[in-house]
Amino acid sequence: MAAVDLVIAQRLDSGVPLVGEVAKYIISAGGKRLRPVLLLLTCGALGYNGHQRHNLAAVVEFIHTATLLHDDVVDESTLRRGRPTANENFGNPASVLVGDFLYSRAFQMMVEAQSMRVMQTLADATNVIAEGEVLQLMNMHDASLDEDGYLRVIRSKTAKLFEASARLGAILAGSPSAIETACADYGQALGTAFQVIDDVLDYDGNAAEMGKNLGDDLREGKATLPLILAMQRGNEAQRQTVREAIETGSVDKITEIANIVRVTGALEATRNAAAAEAQRAIDAAMLLPDNPHRSALLTLASQLLNRRT
């Protein structure tokens, strides 16, 4: 991970001062670097030790960071990683454009791997992520969104980059297609569980710990799994309260809604859905060779459910 951080620092170079300023502002803010971890662990589990693993780990972090810069503009978010978002600090235009810089720098770097499979994986993943965000936009304020519709969005906007990161490890290692598929399945399931917990934390988290504002999902009229399950399980009055909040994007009743999500058992059911995805990740990882890197992948899947940030 130190080697990855070095590549990240080196490849942020630009002759345009604002690029470095905004990019460093977000990159040095202490993200978890989960996607690079995933890529390095799959490489390790499959026996690849070449230097491209550090380059591609930096690539997935750059793509992730580009999506955060764009997402915070789209969502009008003001707080990320415990401090003002880049859009809050530097304005929307600088955030969008530096996101574009990081995204295109990632493409310059991935070419260096000289592998069409690597290029294909990352080109497909970024396209699906963007599509997922558009789908989410279309679903805003739609209280009739069901579990399948929700899953479709989160598999695209979040799980796809996890899936690509794990798949890249197998591609770099030259693994057989069954192993590559197991890695991709692991990444997809882990990424899905990760986003489901992210959505739980919006109703059950601690803003100081999370480093972002709670209730943001409701403000945007996002029908996430806790709300979908609360509407299924609640009585007519509870259902009406949640439905109205999604349709209007009002956070006036956020405390009442957080309570409905809890008392209907929707929060627990959502955590159970995340646990099922984490188990799917574990089952997929069991197809990899038994070694300390695989153990770390298994631990990551089981610990993810306890995430608070």
Measured from the CB atom, is 97 or 287 closer to ligand GRG?
97
24 binds ligand GRG (CB under 6 A): no
- Residue 225, interface with ligand GRG (CB under 6 A)? no
The answer to whether 130 contacts ligand GRG (rule: CB under 6 A) is yes
Residue 241, token pair as written in the block:
């309260």
Backbone angles phi, psi at 296, to 5 degrees: -65, -40
Q: CA-CA distance, 114 to 111, in Å (whole number)?
A: 6
AA letter at 140: M
Least distance (Å) between residue 236 CB and ligand GRG: 33
Nearer to ligand GRG, 125 or 267 (CB): 125
Provide φ and ψ at 145, rounded to 5°. -60, 130
Stretch of 1-9, 26-34, 48-56, 294-302 lying at the interface with ligand GRG (CB under 6 A):
26-34
Q: How far apart are the C-alpha atoms of 214 and 203, rounded to whole Å?
A: 7
Helix (H) or strand (E) holding 269: helix 266-285
**Position among 155, 157, 167, 280 found at the interface with ligand GRG (CB under 6 A):** 157
Q: Could you say whether residue 126 binds ligand GRG (CB under 6 A)? A: yes
For residue 123, what are the contacts with CB-CB under 8 A and spacing of at least 6? none
Give the contact letters, 47-86, x = binds to ligand GRG (CB under 6 A), - = no: -------------------xxx-xx--x------x-----
Under the criterion CB under 6 A, does residue 129 sit at the interface with ligand GRG?
Answer: yes
185, 280 contact by CB (below 8 A): yes
By the rule CB under 6 A, 32 interacts with ligand GRG: yes
Closest by CA to 204, choosing from 255, 155, 249, 140, is 255
Return the residues of window 172-201 that contact ligand GRG according to CB under 6 A.
195, 198
In a 10 Å sphere around its CB, with 0-12 CB exposed, 13-18 middle and 19+ buried, how is residue 226 labelled? buried
Map residues 254-293 to x or -, x wherever contact with ligand GRG holds by CB under 6 A.
----------------------------------------
Among 55, 158, 192, 238, binds ligand GRG (CB under 6 A): 158
One symbol per residue from 82 to 121: x for binding ligand GRG (CB under 6 A), - otherwise; what is it?
-----------------x---x------------------
Are 30 and 81 a contacting pair, CB within 8 Å? yes
33 to 1, 36, 39, 65, 114: CA distances (angstroms): 9, 6, 10, 10, 24
Report the residue number, 31 or 226, with the smaller CB distance to ligand GRG: 31
The single-letter DSSP state of residue 158 is I
CA distance 136 to 188: 18
Tell me whether residue 42 or residue 264 sits nearer to ligand GRG (CB atom). 42
Residue whose C-beta lies closest to ligand GRG: 31
Binding site for ligand GRG (CB under 6 A): 31-32, 34, 66-68, 70-71, 74, 81, 99, 103, 126, 129-130, 133, 157-158, 195, 198
